[in-house]
Structures are given as structure tokens and as C-alpha cells.
Structure 1
């Protein structure tokens, strides 16, 4: 029957763009937001488990996968996490839900916590995976961070556009037949990933996401922190033990506590793409928290 059996696949209006959205299950609603360079299909093993008790919504973020890719601007605001968060609220409203839980991994975690900050009456619970607030990461940037996360800055600059390098050989750039092979991602998830990275418009939009990250996203975080705004809903952070969260930050929960004082969380024995590498453990952790 393929992946996401029993789920519907639609294009739904967000905040001025249409998103490709997979949705199914029944119960309290939860949105799952993917990271870079994935699409919503990264959740193919987790979403059906959660759908036993929840109505699960998995969109492609704006610019990613088969969602719309709006023209950008000099300040990259169309790809700000604030814009992406507004998409999620609008999509859920279209699906009949004024409140929902939100789970985000990697870039999706940035959208998830921005949704909780901008729409506190909407988000009932928040889960962030393998991420800290953008401003906190940038302020702690040292030689180790620059060595391991150099792509943030390569993507973020415009003098020598990263798109030209990536689109010359996207499958090699994104390790499509090695660490991101069909065996590791699953054949159908891999096919969706492959279609995304082969599309120059998608590559440009994904890079615009990083350009927004270094500019407008950081500003939004700085304004919120200066005003004392905090995330008030129950929040959990999960991190991959075979990624570098602990190497970069020690206990990553300590980074989050000024933003959400009652945050809980723990590590999972996995590499970075935890939804694909440790789906059972992730689904269990999410189900327990939700």
C-alpha cells in the first residue's frame, strides 16, 4: 500500500502559499515539521504510529518538497521562520483545528518554536529536535561550530551563491547514494528526497531558508529575548546522541531554559535524522509526551 497508508495527500493554502500536506489519523492534532533537505516523507515511520492516537499533519515547509516557492526579497523575509509558522497556523485552520501540538526537527524545529512564540494561544505542546534557538547558536559560534556547521554560512551568503554549486551535482552534494541512500531512507522517502534536491527551484528556496536564518530570524529571536517573551506551553527537547548537540552545548536543555523554563527532554541513540534512524524510539517519546 506504500507509505502513509490511510493518510490523505492535499495541497492546502497557507499564508499566501500552498503547501503539500499529508494528514491522517484521529484524536488530538499534532503537526510534524521536517528539516533540511528532507520533505514531509521523512516522518513515514513515525506518523502512522502517532496516528493511532492523534490526528497527524505532515506538511512540506514552504520552499521545500512540492510546496510553493515564493519569490524572495533582499531581506529574505518570505523564508523567515515567522512566515513558515504562519503557514502552519493557516493550514491547520483550513483543516479545522484552532489549537494543536507541533513537533519540529532541524529547520522544522525553528519553525516549531517560532510558531509557539508567535501564536501562544494556538500551540498546546511543543517538541524541538536537534536544535537550539537561532540566536543562541549564532552567539555560541566558535571554531568547532564553524567547522561542523560551515554550510550555515556558505548557504547564508549571496556573493557566491551556493545554488550554483549544489545544482551542478545535487546527488553528490546531498550524498544521495551513500549516507542518504534508499536503504537508509526507505525507497519511497528516498524518491521524494531525490525529486526535491534535483529541482533547482527547491534548492534555491532551501538556501533562502538559511539566508533568512542569519538575518531576520536572528532579529526576531533577539527582539523576543529582549522583551522577555517565553514559550509557555509544555515543551520537550530531544536530541540525537550521535549528533553533536552535547559536544557543542553540553546539556542542550540549559540553552532552552531561558526560553521555556519548564522544558524537559533527553537524548536518543541515533544520528541526526532520528525519524529515519530511530523511528520507534522517537515515536515512543513523542507519544508519551503528547
Structure 2
């Protein structure tokens, strides 16, 4: 009878996987516990009482959660619409036309991500206050669009690059106009990539806090602002419930991204 050999690498792998699982699922488990905790304080490792009274407080008319959720979704949808209005023609031009500064144009869309958000938003808030956009939904949408364009334009460019140019040329050869070939051939084939870019922009807008805080608060209330207010006030139950409300659409839309964003599209990003 042979003895099983002990492999230390399996122990190391198990420890690494355990640490990764704890890093990923530990905060989520803590979030779920806080969402149903009635009383929980140090040194107790688990809540002393469980219940849903804080859920009722969050969804009460004075809890402002539903209004904030509707505002967040509305702003995200408007942001997606405006971003796609820019990204579709820009992505098509960058994918099809031989632009001399194509690389610099793509990099230019990264500029809003290259600088610290705080000083940028402070100056934007001052400018918007002078033109009457501070504290308005359009002002918040404009700020969100500037950050969402990097996802929209880059992924749209990759989506149009993944469409075979010969299909469009074949449609033109049988009499279709350029606009008709784009609408009937190129756009439907690029639609999965455009859908993925829309999802990324939606999630970016849904989770945006800094720009919304400086441009929209206190007149425009969103879930990230409500989450910040609850967390800063030490109300971890309300903050956890609000975070769960933000987490649900994020997980759903990431599943949509996994379905629509294919490897052939990703391989063309930046080309």
C-alpha cells in the first residue's frame, strides 16, 4: 500500500485561492450582514439582532431612496444616449477613415481620466454656476458624459473595426447608398459592441459620485450621494442597503457585457 505524497504546492494554491475568495466575497458578506443587522457593535463578530426595520426606513417616503434611484437611472440613461450620439459617428470615422491623428484622437478621450477628479470638478462647478447648470440634471449628465465617452468611443471604434469592410462594399455595389449600407449592414453587426459600450457608460454614470456631488448636490439626489451621506453619518445599515441597490444593476449589466462583448471586438480596441 503506497502512501499518498504530500504536495506543498496544493497547500499554497489553496491558501491563495482562499485569500482571493475572502477578498472578493468577504466585503459582500459583511455588506449583507449590515443590511439585516438591528444591533451590531464591537467586540461582537456577528450582529446581536437581525431585522428589516432599516429597509422600511430606506424605502419610506422620507427615506429618499426611491427618488435617488429614479434619478440615478434617469441620469444614467440620458448619459448613455448622449454618449452614443457622439460615439457612433466618432467610432465609425475612427474605424473606417484614415485619419492622420487617429491615435491622438483616441488618447484625447482618455484626458478626463488622466487628471485628479477633485480639482477638475471644483472648476466645472464654478463654471456651471455661472451659466446656470449647477444643481441641474443636464449639468450632471454633461459631467457624466465626459467620463463615459472614453468607454463609448473606444469600444465603438473596436466594434466598427470588427465589421468586415467588404460586406459594406458589397451592399454599395448593388446600389445601396452609404447611409443605407451603414444602417442595414454595419450598424446591426456592430450592435453587440455598441450595447457593451452603453452598459459600461451606464454603470460608470450609475456609480459616479464626485462629479454629481460638486455639480448636482443638494438639488440632484442620486444613490451614490445617499450612500455617502449615510456612511459619513455612521448609519451603516442604510449605507449597506443603498450599496446593495447599486450592486444589483451592476451585476446584471456586467452579465450583459459578458454576453455581448466578444474577443474579436476586444482585440481591436485601440487599433
Alignment TM class, shorter chain as reference: under 0.3
**Larger relative contact order (CA 8 Å, sep ≥ 6):** 2
Name which one, 1 or 2, has greater alpha-carbon Rg. Answer: 2
TM-score, L = length of structure 1 = 0.21
